[in-house]
Chain A
Amino acid sequence: MLRQELGDFCSIVCFKAAITGMEEALGEKATAIALMAAGRTRGKKLAKELGLTGINLEWNLIADKMDFALGINGTKLCKIEKIVEEITVIRVSTSETVCSAGEPQGSPRKCTFTLGAVWGALEEITVKRLKGTHIESVLRGGSNDIFEFSPLV
């Protein structure tokens, strides 16, 4: 069912209200687990659709493809600024994430769905199980929301 007049997008206010409502009913932790799991599923599906499964491309090209799908030309979940791989970790810099949108400076909120979406995509691309964490937030002095991923032993 297509929305003929309203189109594909809905307000962040409603998305955030759904999250805070779930947090009130289920608790922050259970909600975060569910949103991260949902994000990972979304990210994996997206990477498959983009033909990135197991692909051996430079990270800047992968970042461009993901940004095209998720950023200003895509679903507007977040902008993917940069992906950098260091010895044992992959760091993804994002901005304008839906999870941080509308939050006051100093808010303790962490990215859940956005982290999960990037996480799932990277797992599909690298064909590895990864552990992801949100290591820097625009809500707590960072210039970007940065996610770090390391192989899950």
Chain B
Amino acid sequence: MPINAGKIENILQNFVSGTNDIQGATLVSPDGLSLASVLPNAMDDEKVSAMSAAMLSLGERIGSELSRGNIDRIYVEGDKGYGVLTNCGDDAVLLVLANQSVKQGLLMLEIKRLTEELKLILM
């Protein structure tokens, strides 16, 4: 069944616009191609996609080489905010960008809900 990119983009759009602290979200294939994205204008969708897939892959390698088990999430924390990469089934990787004032627990909960919703569409 073909992936419904429009539906995924709507879900991402609702997710980003529903919370002030979330600045963007993108869903990419494991080989680094964008499936749907809602990102700030200054960000290059293609670069972000390749970077997200490469980071998750690198995280998986770290998990395996350093005996950390299966990697579910990679978390980048900077002084301007967060970038959270989450495995979204076998066919996709989700990147969520949030500003520094986001409540981390809430962010994780929102991401969990979002990945569950996206996994249903990707199945």
Interface residues of A (CB under 8 A from B): 26-27, 29-30, 32-34, 36-37, 40, 129, 131, 152-153
Number of chain B residues close to chain A: CB under 8 A: 18
Q: Are B46 and A40 in contact (CB under 8 A)?
A: yes
Q: Are A33 and B31 in contact (CB under 8 A)?
A: yes
- Give every chain B residue within 8 A of A30 (Cβ-Cβ): 54-55, 57-58, 61
Cα distance A29–B30 in the bound complex, in angstroms? 9
Partner of B2, one of A29, A32, A40, A153: A153
Partner of A153, one of B3, B54, B58, B60: B3
Cβ-based interface call for B53 (8 A):
yes
Cα distance A37–B33 in the bound complex, in angstroms? 9
Question: Quick one: CB contact mask for B27-57 with A, threshold 8 Å, 1 for yes?
Answer: 0001111100000000000110010011101
A153-B31 contact, Cβ under 8 Å, with A30-B54, A30-B61, A40-B46: no
Q: How far is the CB of A23 from chain B (nearest CB, A)?
A: 10
> Total number of A-B contacts with CB less than 8 angstroms?
42
- Give every chain B residue within 8 A of A40 (Cβ-Cβ): 46
Taking CB as reference atom, which chain A residue is nearest B45?
A129
Cα distance A131–B46 in the bound complex, in angstroms? 13
Q: Are B31 and A26 in contact (CB under 8 A)?
A: no
A34-B5 contact, Cβ under 8 Å, with A27-B61, A131-B33: no
- Give every chain B residue within 8 A of A32 (Cβ-Cβ): 31
- 22 contacts across the A-B interface (CB closer than 8 A): A26-B57, A26-B58, A27-B58, A27-B60, A27-B61, A29-B30, A29-B57, A30-B55, A30-B57, A30-B58, A30-B61, A33-B31, A33-B32, A33-B57, A34-B54, A36-B31, A37-B32, A37-B50, A37-B54, A129-B33, A152-B33, A153-B2
